[in-house]
Amino acid sequence: MKMSLKLIMGNQAMAMGAIHAGVQVVSGYPGTPSSEVLETISSHAGESLYVEWSVNEKVALEVAAGASYAGKRSLVTMKQVGLNVASDPLMCLAYVGIKGGMVVLVADDPGPISSQTEQDTRHFGIYSKLPVFDPSSPEEAYEMMGDAFAYSEKYGTPVIMRPTTRVCHAYAPIKMKSELYKNTLEGFKKDPKWVIFPKLSYEAHLNIEARNPVIGDDFSGYRFNFIEGSGRKGVVSAGVSYAYTKEALSLLGAECRLLKIGTPHPFPEKLALEFLQSVDEVLVLEELDPVIEKELVYLCGIHHIHLDIKGKRTGNVKQAGENSCESIAQVLSLYLDIPYEKPEVLANMPALPVRPPVLCAGCPHRASFYAVKQAMKGRKAVFAGDIGCYTLGNAMPLDMVDTCLCMGAGVTITQGIHHAEPDTVNFAFIGDSTFFHSGITGIINSVYNETDMILVVLDNSTTAMTGHQPHPGTGKTMMGNITDKISIPAILEAVGVSDIQIVDPFNLDEAAKAVERAASKKGTKSIIFKSPCIAIIKPAPLLKVDEDKCTGCRKCIRELGCPAIIKSGTKVQIDPSLCYGCTICAQICPFDAIGGDIND
């Protein structure tokens, strides 16, 4: 019999789970590994389903909250560091509560694979006192999304859905519901409860403290919290680590008593107590912080249960990075005293090609960085970077990112450096999407406080790093509408930036002149290097190396680090499958050896 299951990504599964749960307003800000959730939902957008990429995560969460106040089911998506930006509305909303079910989807990134931090959003759940759902597979994530909306409405609180990269990006055959949830809630009703005041917050705090143990008991019977297996040795696991644990047990041919946690907060204490009373010792296998481990130690303490609880605290499980089948099999092998032959490192392996992330051939950021670097040769200058593809400008040979902290921080780190070292020329590089996300307030700060800095906006007309999402400067929305493009130079002018130059970075001479001009002036100056990401344009005529003229000096390779320029004997060659015809190699070649099609 043929199964009618569709292979979909964990993020798509959560998107479909939300749609089938009747979600009507969805907002978010792109961030790996969360972006595909909103993108999937947007392909179902229509009259009764509104979807937007918001300007940043704080804005997104507030939009979703407003929709929920008005009785709609709403979803907001972001990556873990995005919740730092959205933490202000999150903390307050936890007190105010919601009407229509509201899910705050925050994807964590153990490793980290593509993030600044390894922060654990389960802590945010505990801190904000909100329920947290932690799926262990795409299949479970699909089901949990519907449950999350139901619990949210049942308790009148936003809830957090916290998948991790391996669940977000794994593909599984998902059995979908055929019926859509029908929302019967009425719209926005004026009520003092929507206005946060100290007195209301005090009462809400008491209510939350009374409510959470009730939710914890409710969760003790929740279908994705369960005990399985037998034996006196206990193992507790959650998220993708539960999947690794199951796989490792089968590799080892072992069995144990296993408690699986799908809702780390409020902790399902009754279920956990039942488990703790059935075993002689406990090993906790989880990623990021020892959240479940601490809950168990706490439970043992208050219930006077004498159990050895092993995990991160005891050094059995490593404290940072991802778990894997192998790491968990090793820990389990020691714990259960079952031999495990650790896969050996292969002997005599030849040196493998190294493939670090680099800016694409033809990327306009390469030209922008190169122009600034050339113009500032011999000057004392600091180059503050930011979050996006252009963080890759830190790689050799460009080496043009001296600092990178968090979204929008380049603009303001620069100001601090200026106040500490006024004789340095201070640059802040920021992409167009990051500019709208959290760059503008920093620029206002610079103008207001009369800081000398050069703001370099790398405007490639898209959110490239996370997969080319539109933003306010692109003139497109996730509802498919064409809107007015919000002009970056108009914003800069409005906030009082004194000198605004718009330059094509691929014209290296002009670009360098613009940098010199900006560096000669006081105050907050800006250069907008405007050129689209190669992923959204067609290549220009490709370039060729004239072998007769090429002396093999390799200046192009040494200074640009373009992936399309490769060594060929004593000379260089351009790989036509990678070249985008950006021409910067031709512009810097001292022997005029690069040209080809453009000169034909």
CA distances (Å), origin 106, targets 56, 162, 422: 14, 5, 40
What residues are paired with 237 via a beta bridge? 260, 285
Closest to other proteins by CB, 258 vs 299, is: 258
Question: Any known ligand binding at 579?
Answer: yes
Region for 421 from its dihedrals, namely left if φ exceeds 0, alpha if ψ lies in -120 to 50, beta otherwise: beta
> From CA 435, how far away is CA 472, in angstroms rounded?
10
Smallest separation (angstroms) from other proteins to the CB of 12: 12
Q: Which is nearer to other proteins, 33 or 473 (CB)?
A: 33
Cβ proximity to other proteins, 3 vs 302, nearer residue: 3
Known binder of ligand: residue 533?
no
Cβ 586 to other proteins shortest distance, Å? 17
Are 5 and 175 spatial neighbours (Cβ–Cβ below 8 Å)? yes
Contact 73, 21 (CB under 8 A): yes
- Helical (H) or strand (E) element with 570: none
Min separation Cβ 348 and other proteins, Å: 8
Q: Any idea which residue has 């929740």 for tokens? A: 222
Helix or strand (DSSP H, E) at 381: strand 381-384
Closest approach, Cβ 142 to other proteins, in A, equals 14
In 30-72, DSSP assigns E strands to 50-53
Footprint of other proteins (CB under 8 A): 1-3, 5, 7, 113-114, 137, 166-167, 169-173, 240, 243-248, 250-251, 324-326, 329, 343, 345-346, 348-358, 360, 389, 392, 396-397, 464, 535, 554, 557-558, 561, 563, 565-567, 572, 577-578
Q: How many CA atoms lie within 13 A of 209 on its CB side?
A: 5
CB atoms within 10 A of CB 546: 15
Between 307 and 325, whose beta carbon lies closer to other proteins? 325
| Residue 37 C-beta: closest distance to other proteins, Å | 17
The H-or-E segment that residue 223 falls in is none
**C-beta of 169 vs 193, nearer to other proteins:** 169
**Least distance from other proteins to the Cβ atom of residue 346, Å:** 6
Cα–Cα distance list, 146 to 15, 27, 141, 346, 370 (Å):
10, 18, 9, 46, 50
- Whole-angstrom distance, CA of residue 557 vs CA of residue 160: 48
Of 25 and 556, the one with the shorter C-beta distance to other proteins is 556
The secondary structure of residue 354, as a DSSP letter, is P
The tokens describing 246, both together, are: 């199951």
Q: How far is the CB of 278 from other proteins (least distance, A)?
A: 23
Known binder of ligand: residue 360? no
The verdict on whether residue 553 carries a ligand-binding annotation is: yes
Task: Read off the tokens for 340.
Answer: 């495990």
How far apart are the C-alpha atoms of 125 and 159, rounded to whole Å?
8
Is the CB of 59 or the CB of 141 nearer to other proteins?
Answer: 141
Q: What is the enclosing helix (H) or strand (E) of 75?
A: strand 74-79
Q: Which of 208, 216, 34, 223 is nearest to 113 (CA)?
A: 34
List, in order, residues 6 or more apart from 128 with CB less than 8 Å away.
87, 90, 91, 94, 160
Closest Cα to residue 142, out of 171, 121, 102?
Answer: 171
The distance of closest approach from Cβ of residue 399 to other proteins in the complex, given in angstroms and rounded to an integer, is: 12
To the question of whether residue 585 is assigned a binding role by annotation, the answer is: yes
- Least Å distance, CB 302 to other proteins, is 33
Closer residue to other proteins in complex, CB, 187/321: 321
- The reply, when asked if residue 389 is annotated as ligand binding, is no
What is the spatial distance between Cα 99 and Cα 156, in angstroms, rounded to a whole number? Answer: 6
Q: Looking at beta carbons only, is 114 or 374 nearer to other proteins?
A: 114
Q: From the CB of 218, what's the least distance to other proteins, in Å? A: 27
Q: Which CB, 495 or 557, lies closer to other proteins?
A: 557
Cα gap 507→521, rounded to integer Å: 22
Return binding residues. Answer: 550, 553, 556, 562, 579, 582, 585, 589
Return binding residues for [4Fe-4S] cluster. Answer: 550, 553, 556, 562, 579, 582, 585, 589
